[in-house]
Amino acid sequence: MQKVTRLFAKHLSITEVNRCILIVILSFIIFIINPFFYTPANLRLIVVWGSIFSLMVLGEMLYLIPGGIDLSLGGVICISNVLAAVFILRYGFEIWLAVLIVLITGFAIGLTTGLFGTYFSPPFRFMLPVFIFTLMLNFVLTGIARIITRAFPIYGFPPSYSLIAKAALGPIPIVTVYLLIVLVMLVYFFYFRPIGWQFFATGLNDEVARKVGINVKKIRIIACCCGSLLQAFAGVIVGSYLAVGSVLIGPPYLLPILAGAFIGGISLAGGEGSPFGAILGGFSVYLIENIIVVLAISAFWKEVAIGCFLLFFVIFDFYRRRRAVIVSV
């Protein structure tokens, strides 16, 4: 019996496992309160938006693990859906070309962030220049999007544009397929390639990583590029799903996604976290939003709920870690 409890405690201490259990418990409670939660329509909504949020959290994770932080997420999502709309509707570009240009833009934004961050990185911690630069980008990109659209939403997409986010492979929404593809790629590179080890080592201790001969700058620039690329892709997906190019899409996501990353067990200190955790974080954040809607509570409570969750998980992790330290001493 004691063995079982110890085994249980050991697995419970794994971030992904305890988050999973909590999500299941939470959805069960909601089910008791309001059975509408489990209608196919709502489940589909959860899967689609959960996947979109997860993609954003994965992008954020790529910044957080090597020791940075991405505050430009809102701006990147905003500019990418607006750019896609402008290219397709105002200039009549082919859809694939417009999406490609947007993705390249996202990549370039990540590249500038990475270059700026690593240029100042020693003597400063990587976090500081990246924090400032992405904060600046968030304002500038949102502003540029406003200038381009004059803050009017752009409507009237061809139906094929919506297919990017609304198509389905049998019962699986295409967005989830994107998420799975990204997940498989990340897991391969994180856990089965040398770059994964170097990536985590960079976040845990960049000084040591540099000394053992890892090209810390290269790793960070790659991470930033991929992170912003994912955000830009998420921006296109949101724009396509809502069939609108608007400056209002994007900036509001920033704080929920950051919260999602922390809920998913990705540490602000760097070097900690996993793609699975990020996905759980993304789904949790959307789940909270969804629950508020399903239970017909005022939307204003959404923020309160997310905040409470964040506090709960952070305290849970602190407690777990403190106990681990006490046990080891």
Partner 1 sequence: MSEPMREIIRVEKITKKFNNIFALKNISFTTHEKEIIGLVGDNGAGKSTLLNILVGLFPPDEGKIYLEGKEVHFSSPADARNQGIEIVYQFANLVEKMNIYKNFFLGREIIKKVGFIRVLDKEKMRKISEEKLNEIGINKRSEQLIESLSGGERQAVVLGRAFYFGTRVLLLDEPTTGLSIKEVDRCLRRIKTIRDKTSMSIIFVTHNVRHIFPIADRVIVLDRGEIICDKKTENTTIDEITQLIAKEKIHLH
Contact code string over 242-271 relative to partner 1, x by CB under 8 A? -----------------------------x
Q: In whole angstroms, give the CA distance from residue 242 to residue 248.
A: 12
Q: Is 28 in the site for partner 1 (CB under 8 A)?
A: no
Closest to partner 1 by CB, 169 or 327: 327
Q: Contact at 8 Å (CB) between 258 and 60?
A: yes
3-state SS record for 35-104: HHHHCHHHHHHHHHHHHHHHHHHHHHHHHHCCCCCCCCHHHHHHHHHHHHHHHHHHCCCCHHHHHHHHHH
70-78, 209-217, 236-244, 307-315 -> range binding partner 1 (CB under 8 A):
209-217
Q: Is 78 in the site for partner 1 (CB under 8 A)?
A: no
- Residue 155's contacts (CB-CB under 8 Å, 6 or more residues apart) are 243, 244
Q: Is 123 in the site for partner 1 (CB under 8 A)?
A: no
Closest to partner 1 by CB, 106 or 265: 265
Q: Does residue 21 sit in helix, strand or coil?
A: helix
Considering only 23, 115, 136, 204, the residue that binds partner 1 (CB under 8 A) is: 204
13-21, 164-172, 195-203, 276-284 -> range binding partner 1 (CB under 8 A):
195-203
Considering only 47, 82, 109, 209, the residue that binds partner 1 (CB under 8 A) is: 209
- Residue 107's contacts (CB-CB under 8 Å, 6 or more residues apart) are 225, 228, 229, 232
Closest to partner 1 by CB, 123 or 159: 123
**Interface residue list for partner 1 (CB under 8 A):** 188, 191-194, 197-198, 200-201, 204-205, 208-215, 271-272, 328
